[in-house]
Amino acid sequence: MLVPGDRVAVDGFLATVRFVGEIPNWPNETAIGVEWDVPERGKNDGSLNGTRYFSTRHGAKSGSFVKLSKLQPTRSFMDAMAYQYASDESLASESVSLVDHFDLTIGTKKVESYGFEKLSRLQADFRNLETATLERLNVAVSSPIDSSLHNLQVLNLGFNLLDWHNLMQIVLQLPNLHTLKANGNRWTRYERCEPCLSVRTLHLSACDLGSCEYTSQLLSCFPRLQHLHVASNGLNRIQVCGLESLDLSDNSFSLLSDAPPAKRLNLSYNDLHIPPLTDVSLQMVEELDLCNAAVSEWSEIDNLAQLPNLTSLRILNTPLLNSIDYDSAISQLFARIPSLVKLDGTVYTAEHRDNFELYFISKVRSKEWSCPSPRWAALCAKHGLSPEKSAPAERFPTSTRVDVVYNDLRFSATLFSSATVGKLRGKISRKFGLSVLDFQLYTQLGQDTEHLANDQQPVAALALANPVQVKLQPWERGLRQQPYPRKSGVAD
């Protein structure tokens, strides 16, 4: 019998039971009050004709009443395995549950029910499995698991109907399981269970953990975790430590200092700022993703310099980077964060860093940019320059300004002397939202049109006038218009 807190599926949509009983609209029929995982599917807040039957937690219209007869049937774990992976179609579609049969070793009952040949074939199928995906199969209960599944290493149970007890009963019977994916499940109750020591990677994204009162207990069931994915959970705090990687994207963190430490930390799509960092545990961070965060001040980047091991940063689509030319932003980011090597997926060399830092110094001396005193002194000492901000420029890298025109759109970009045509192509791709394969680059040299086809060619080596007018043409259009000048006397 269903009780509040149970999980159900209706027409492929998952929901949590909030009420079981009768309502005046459906006399003599059991009504199930549910709160949908997708709130937009709901019609009410648990009230009907002025009478409240249950309360919703995620919006005034995230609930509905459904008839008991509308609920989709559920499966056991072994039923789902047979349905998904049995090579014999007749076995996979058996209407009788396999749960009872897998309670026993191969013996009379199994042979009578399925025949020795079918069961041997099923066990052979399972024995070869290292990865199993049972996503959206309405798995609701565990079952005794046959030893032929002991080779299973990766299990996807995403978007099913398992409570925590049944989930752990499955996991604890798979001794070699190292990766568990349980995204899209919800847990309204918790029972203490034996810890799982084999799982190293855990995916619990979109599980509403921010509203779950048992989140810390759930995570404590996996004491040897190295990689945790808990995106899209409405979290603003979580207690974990010592992880190799932690995905907290699309949550509700407001400060970097609220995040637990991990070598690879993903905080993209959080409305997050970077305060001065006093927690020494964050010094273990080596890779940090802040794409689409709320970072808006260069002082926040200066605070990142307090992370001595930070070598990789992603920071696209933040207010800070959207307010400045990307190449100028690169210079500031590398100059302000001395340990940085990889930015937005691109690895930069020591020569690149020197160019960025020298360009940064020139901008500070021209009073266009500012720099904290300790970092300024370190930069000048590194390059053998006077720390006087009014000192004349010395051996600073030159830059090229490129005007880019695409239909009626136009923007200007500043490129360093070491920048290539490929770098320019990447900037244009980001600016206009075009694939790098969707356009060609041309520049006008007097009466001639030159095709910029070599992505490895430095822009400075083109010896073009400054600024350079660059026009974009889609590949198909460019080919039809024959961008290369024809030589006279050459037949078609």
Rounded Cα distance, 305 and 157, in Å: 40
Q: Which two tokens stand for residue 278?
A: 């006093």
pTM, entire model = 0.80
For domain 7-70, the CATH superfamily is CAP Gly-rich-like domain (2.30.30.190)
Q: What is the pLDDT of residue 7?
A: 95
**Could you tell me whether strands 31-36 and 13-21 are parallel, antiparallel, or unpaired per DSSP bridges?**
antiparallel
Q: Where does the chain hold its CATH 2.30.30.190 domain(s)? A: 7-70
pLDDT 10s digits, 161-192: 999 999 999 999 999 999 999 999 999 899 89
CA distance 450 to 421: 13
Helix (H) or strand (E) holding 156: strand 154-156
Residue 115: band (very low, low, confident or very high) from pLDDT cuts 50, 70, 90? very low
**Would you give the end-to-end CA distance of the chain in angstroms?**
81
Report the pLDDT averaged over residues 285-312. Answer: 96
Contact status, residue 164 vs residue 5, Cβ threshold 8 Å: no
Lowest mean per-residue pLDDT among 114-123, 202-211, 372-381: 114-123
Residue range(s) occupied by CATH 3.10.20.90 in the chain:
399-480
Min mean pLDDT across 74-88, 132-146, 318-332 is at 74-88
User: Is domain 399-480 classified as CATH 3.40.50.720?
Assistant: no
- Quick one: average pLDDT of 384-394? 73
Range among 326-330, 360-364, 406-410 rated most confident: 360-364
What Å distances lie between residue 201 and 154, 194, 220, 249, CA to CA? 9, 18, 13, 16
Q: Of 379, 468, 363, 370, nearest to 419 (Cα)?
A: 468
CATH topology of domain 75-382: 3.80.10
From-to residues of CATH 3.80.10.10 in the chain: 75-382
| Position 120 confidence tier, pLDDT thresholds 50, 70, 90 | low
pLDDT at 427 over 70: yes
